């Protein structure tokens, strides 16, 4: 693969960039372990052209899909989590000016009148199924009541699903701000204000992706091992670029819960996103991180990439960002698993791109020097 040194340096610089990406819809939700949009943009610009198809088999919060849309590439993303699906879908769905105006009008009329007192209809089915568990603390209940009333009102709006999902996403963002890992829970006044502020900001952000209306973005709430069964690739052909970060071997990331007051966990984000959970942590991380040799994890990676190999062609490039809890044995095992799935690693320079986590900076390292480093950018192509 011929990528000149300038490009390698540009990718390294982008990976190290501390700049915030303004605009777009990246800030709709803080998805755990999400990509740096600046890095994603650099990779997309380097390895694809406008009109190409880009796949993210583990899309998470949809960073790849948002950047693809803005850069005028078609994209498709898969994720086993309905929360990831919801967030990615809302971030990449354009709304008409009329819909945006309707959202603003409704919000600025309804939200200031939201009170936590008075009779209202509770989400009984969600409560019975445990989605609101640990969401009942003395400090949290007033906000929870506002959320329940807001969702009930949104459900009863005579509006298309795009609009309702946008309003739910604004609540999700505000709920994450108010509750997830927070020691001090805001007052209901503060919460209402934040919700209105988020709706206004998100409405402006959605306009920035509206310009790319003709670009296709497809989100699937399906596991990566089913990618080869998706008809999209028959219609649109093989992806030019696969840009992803899979779950990390042996690394604990809580993709599917909010932490209440630093201790207990709640699946409430699924209720807000109107999606089903019902699975433990290992469902989203491809297996138990304490399992000997991470057998399930590597089996899952093999099945996922074997499926992916069936929809690739010889021009498809895979770029992955991956972290390891124990790189010395997990990296060779990961590369071996990629080989078994039909892919060979290639170099874009003499070095690999590693990130040493203590100061969170990316470095170019000669192949083989993995000590004290644990995050890596990998490049693969179909084996000839
Ligand atoms: C590291 S995150 C991706 C973050 C993403 N790059 C972003 O910018 O937000 C990994 C994702 O893989 C998903 N996942 C886990 N197992 C999966 C599977 N078998 N198929 C598809 N997605 C899966 C998780 O739900 C999680 O959202």
pLDDT of residue 4: 66
Beta bridge partners of 362: 355
pLDDT of residue 115: 95
Is the shortest distance between the CB of 223 and ligand 1 below 6 Å?
A: yes
Our mutation pick for probing the ligand 1 site, out of 62, 247, 249, 321, counting the most ligand atoms within 8 A of Cβ, is: 247
76 CA distance to ligand 1 middle (Å): 14
Chain centroid to Cα 185, Å, comes to 25
Give the span between the Cα atoms of 221 and 216, in whole angstroms: 17
pLDDT of residue 3: 59
Q: Do 124 and 152 contact (CB within 8 A), yes or no?
A: no
pLDDT of residue 72: 96
Is the shortest distance between the CB of 286 and ligand 1 below 6 Å?
A: yes
pLDDT of residue 23: 63
Give the span between the Cα atoms of 324 and 12, in whole angstroms: 19
Is the shortest distance between the CB of 174 and ligand 1 below 6 Å?
A: no
Q: CB 273: neighbour CB atoms within 10 A?
A: 24
Ligand 1 atom with least separation from CA of 31? 9
Is the shortest distance between the CB of 297 and ligand 1 below 6 Å?
A: no
Sorted by sequence, the CB contacts under 8 Å of residue 195 that are 6+ apart come out as: 107, 111, 150, 170, 171, 174
Q: Is the dihedral of CA 253, 364, 35, 2 positive or negative?
A: negative
Q: Where in the chain is the domain with CATH 3.40.50.150?
A: 5-82+212-251+289-382
59 CA distance to ligand 1 middle (Å): 5
b/e 13-24 (16+ beta carbons within 10 angstroms → b): ebbbbeeebeeb
Tell me the CA distances in angstroms from 203 to 44, 104, 135, one per residue in order. 26, 8, 28
Q: Please determine, looking at this structure, whether the domain spanning 5-82+212-251+289-382 carries the CATH number 3.50.50.60.
A: no
Give the span between the Cα atoms of 71 and 281, in whole angstroms: 34
pLDDT of residue 138: 81
Q: Do 81 and 269 contact (CB within 8 A), yes or no?
A: no
Angle between helices 188-210 and 141-155 (to 10 degrees): 40
Q: What is the pTM of this model?
A: 0.94
Helix (H, G, I), strand (E, B) or coil at 296: helix
pLDDT of residue 357: 65
Ligand 1 atom with least separation from CA of 35? 8
81 CA distance to ligand 1 middle (Å): 8
282 CA distance to ligand 1 middle (Å): 12
Sorted by sequence, the CB contacts under 8 Å of residue 156 that are 6+ apart come out as: none
Q: Is the dihedral of CA 68, 1, 230, 271 positive or negative?
A: negative
Helix (H, G, I), strand (E, B) or coil at 270: helix
For residue 300, give the nearest of 259, 269, 338, 351 by alpha carbon.
338
246 CA distance to ligand 1 middle (Å): 6
Enter the tokens of residue 364: 């170019």
| 384 residues of the chain, pLDDT tens digit each | 545 678 888 888 888 887 766 569 999 999 988 888 999 999 999 999 999 999 999 999 999 999 999 999 999 999 999 999 999 999 999 999 999 999 999 999 999 999 999 999 999 999 999 999 888 778 899 999 999 999 999 999 999 999 999 999 999 999 999 999 888 999 999 999 999 999 999 999 999 887 777 899 999 999 999 999 999 999 999 999 999 999 999 888 888 889 888 778 899 999 999 999 967 778 888 888 888 999 999 999 999 999 999 999 999 999 999 999 898 899 999 999 999 999 999 988 878 888 876 667 777 776 655 545 588 999 999 998
């Amino acid at each position: 693969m011929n990528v000149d040194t300038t490009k390698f340096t540009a990718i390294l610089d982008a990976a190290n960039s501390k700049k915030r990406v303004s605009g777009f819809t990246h800030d709709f939700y803080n998805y755990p372990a999400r990509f740096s949009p600046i890095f994603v943009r650099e990779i997309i610009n380097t390895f694809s052209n406008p009109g190409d198809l880009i796949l993210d088999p583990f899309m998470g919060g949809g960073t790849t899909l948002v950047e693809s849309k803005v850069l005028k590439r078609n994209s498709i993303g898969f994720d086993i989590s309905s929360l990831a699906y919801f967030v990615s879908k809302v971030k990449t769905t354009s709304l008409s000016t009329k819909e945006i105006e309707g959202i603003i009008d409704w919000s600025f009329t309804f939200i200031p009148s939201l009170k936590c007192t008075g009779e209202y209809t509770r989400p009984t089915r969600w409560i019975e199924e445990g989605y609101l568990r640990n969401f009942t603390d003395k400090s949290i209940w007033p906000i929870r009541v506002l959320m329940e009333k807001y969702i009930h009102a949104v459900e009863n709006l005579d509006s298309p699903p795009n609009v309702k999902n946008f309003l739910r996403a604004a609540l999700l963002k505000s709920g994450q701000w108010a509750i997830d890992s927070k020691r001090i829970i805001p007052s209901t006044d503060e919460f209402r204000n934040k919700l209105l502020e988020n709706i206004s900001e998100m409405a402006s952000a959605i306009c920035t992706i509206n310009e790319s209306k003709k670009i296709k973005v497809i989100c699937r709430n399906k596991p990566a091992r089913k990618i080869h069964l998706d008809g999209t690739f028959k219609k649109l052909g093989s992806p030019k670029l696969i840009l992803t970060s899979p779950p990390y071997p042996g690394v604990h990331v809580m993709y599917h819960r909010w932490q209440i007051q630093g201790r207990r966990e709640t699946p409430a984000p699924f209720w807000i996103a109107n999606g089903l959970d019902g699975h433990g942590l290992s469902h989203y991380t491809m297996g138990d991180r304490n399992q000997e040799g991470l057998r399930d994890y590597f089996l899952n990676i093999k099945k996922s990439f074997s499926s992916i190999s069936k929809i690739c062609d010889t021009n498809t490039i895979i770029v992955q960002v991956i972290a390891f809890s124990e790189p010395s044995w997990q990296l060779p095992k990961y590369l071996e698993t990629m080989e078994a799935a039909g892919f060979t690693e290639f170099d874009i320079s003499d070095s690999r791109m590693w990130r040493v986590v203590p100061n969170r900076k990316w470095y170019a390292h000669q192949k083989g020097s993995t000590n004290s480093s644990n995050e890596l950018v990998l490049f693969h192509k179909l084996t000839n």
